[in-house]
Structure 1
Amino acid sequence: MTFLEELQKQRWDDHRYYHHNRINQFLHLLSAMCFLASYVLVFYYPAAAALVGWLLAMVLRQTGHFFFEPLTYDEVNKATHEYKENVKVGYNLRRKVVLLSIWALVPVVLFLEPSFFGAFQPATDFMGFINNMAIIWLFVGLGAIAFRTIHLFKLMGVQSGLVWCSKIITDPFHDIKIYHKSPYFILKGEMYDNMDDWYEEASFENKAL
């Protein structure tokens, strides 16, 4: 596959396997808007960008995955949850638990080690602590992307790693494009996406196979 074909396939697999629930889609829409705010803030106030990205965007996003997305047998794709976890290119639910655990431990470690092992001047007030914590969170997020990208270089090849990295960075724009109608479907009482529209657009998958 070309770079763009693989990008489309990774997006398609991510959508069809992990975004059936309309509330999950709506939370991803809100999350995407928060991430776009972070993209702007990072150039002016990196700490604020990290706080918006982690406390708003990531919390909304992962709430949708962990609490609303069904983890039972997938009748639409004829796949078990275990199969989907195994073929997930990026961070599957198990890897997300590890990442979120690291994120949650940062304030604890910073409280016990105010200089964060010499990386910061120890904060003298609460706002200083929050600023230092947010900067560490920013590096945790960037590090998670870099780590998985390099890991995919080894597992699937350089192109696949770069495709996934590009997908993650552009996901907020793509999520707004494909999930902007989710509130409408929720109001209609349609709580699950049957993927019909996407199956019609996924002709590239047959081409790739």
Structure 2
Amino acid sequence: MKFREELHKQRWDDHRFYHHNRVNQFLHLLSASCFVASYYLIFVDPVAAVMVGWLLAMVLRQIGHFYFEPKDFDHVNAVSHEYKESVKVGYNLRRKVVLLSIWVTVPIVLLINPSFFGFLSEAQVEEGLLYTTAILWLFTGLGAVVFRTVQLFFIMGIQSGLVWATKILTDPFHDIKIYHRSPWYLAKGDMYDDMTDWYAQVPVGDDHGAAKGM
């Protein structure tokens, strides 16, 4: 597949495999809006950008996945939850637990060791806990994307890794595009997406092989 075709495929597998629940879709809409705000804030107030990105955008997004998305057999796609987890391109639930554990651990370690074992300068430490936490959370987020991208270079190829990285960075805008009607569906009492909307097009070469990003 060409780059655009693979990007479409990863986005399609993301949508059909991991966004059945309308509450999850709505939380992704809120999360995406927060991420877009953090993209702007990074040029204005980096600390605020990181806090919005992690404490609002990421928390809302993962609540949707961990608590609202069904984890039984997926009758819409005729695959098991275990299968979806095994083919997930980016961070499946197990990898997310590891990433979120690192995220939670960062401020705890900073309380004990403000310089983070010498990683932070004295001037940075003097800025306070909020500032140093923001620095390390920013590195955590960027590191997670870079780490998985490089992993995918070896697992699936350079193009697939770059496609996934592109997908992750542009997901906020794409989520707003495809989930902006989720409040309307919830108001109607429509709790689950049957994947028959306009976006439900099977990309070229579809074999269930690409799945959800972060």
1:134 paired with 2:127, answer: no
1:104 partner SS: helix
Alignment gaps of 5+ in structure 2: 210-214
**Whole-angstrom distance in 2 between the partners of 1:140 and 1:45:** 18
Q: CA RMSD in A?
A: 1.8
Displacement after TM superposition at 1:45 (Å) = 1.7
Instruction: Give the aligned partner of residue 90 of structure 1.
Output: 90
**Whole-angstrom distance in 2 between the partners of 1:38 and 1:95:** 24
Instruction: Give the aligned partner of residue 108 of structure 1.
Output: 108
Asked if the contact 2:34/2:53 (under 8 Å) is kept, the reply is: yes
**Whole-angstrom distance in 2 between the partners of 1:58 and 1:160:** 23
Displacement after TM superposition at 1:207 (Å) = 10
Runs of 4+ residues over 6 Å off in structure 1? none
Q: How many residue pairs were aligned?
A: 207
Displacement after TM superposition at 1:65 (Å) = 0.2
**Whole-angstrom distance in 1 between the partners of 2:185 and 2:169:** 27
1:197 partner SS: coil
Look up the equivalent residue of 1:80 and give its one-letter code.
S
Q: Deviations over 1:113-150 (max 9, x none)?
A: 111112222645xx711111011001100000000000
Instruction: Give the aligned partner of residue 33 of structure 2.
Output: 33
Q: How is 1:61-76 mapped onto 2 (pairs within 5 angstroms)?
A: 61-76=61-76
Look up the equivalent residue of 1:93 and give its one-letter code.
L
**Whole-angstrom distance in 1 between the partners of 2:79 and 2:132:** 43
Instruction: Give the aligned partner of residue 178 of structure 1.
Output: 178
Alignment gaps of 5+ in structure 1: none
**Whole-angstrom distance in 1 between the partners of 2:193 and 2:200:** 14
Instruction: Give the aligned partner of residue 157 of structure 2.
Output: 157
Asked if the contact 2:9/2:203 (under 8 Å) is kept, the reply is: no
Q: Pick closer, same or farther for the CA change 1:182–1:174 going to 2, 3 Å.
A: same
**Whole-angstrom distance in 1 between the partners of 2:199 and 2:32:** 23
Instruction: Give the aligned partner of residue 212 of structure 2.
Output: none
2:197 partner SS: helix
TM-score normalised over the length of structure 2: 0.92
**Whole-angstrom distance in 2 between the partners of 1:129 and 1:28:** 29
Larger RCO, structures 1/2 (Cα 8 Å, 6+ apart): 2
**Whole-angstrom distance in 1 between the partners of 2:145 and 2:96:** 12
Look up the equivalent residue of 2:146 and give its one-letter code.
A
Instruction: Give the aligned partner of residue 9 of structure 1.
Output: 9
Q: Pick closer, same or farther for the CA change 1:205–1:189 going to 2, 3 Å.
A: farther
Percent identity over the alignment is 65
Displacement after TM superposition at 1:203 (Å) = 4.6
Q: Pick closer, same or farther for the CA change 1:73–1:146 going to 2, 3 Å.
A: same
Displacement after TM superposition at 1:197 (Å) = 1.7
Q: Pick closer, same or farther for the CA change 1:167–1:200 going to 2, 3 Å.
A: closer
1:119 partner SS: coil
Q: Pick closer, same or farther for the CA change 1:109–1:41 going to 2, 3 Å.
A: same
Q: Deviations over 1:1-42 (max 9, x none)?
A: 000000000001111110000000000000000000110111
**Whole-angstrom distance in 2 between the partners of 1:163 and 1:44:** 28
TM-score normalised over the length of structure 1: 0.94
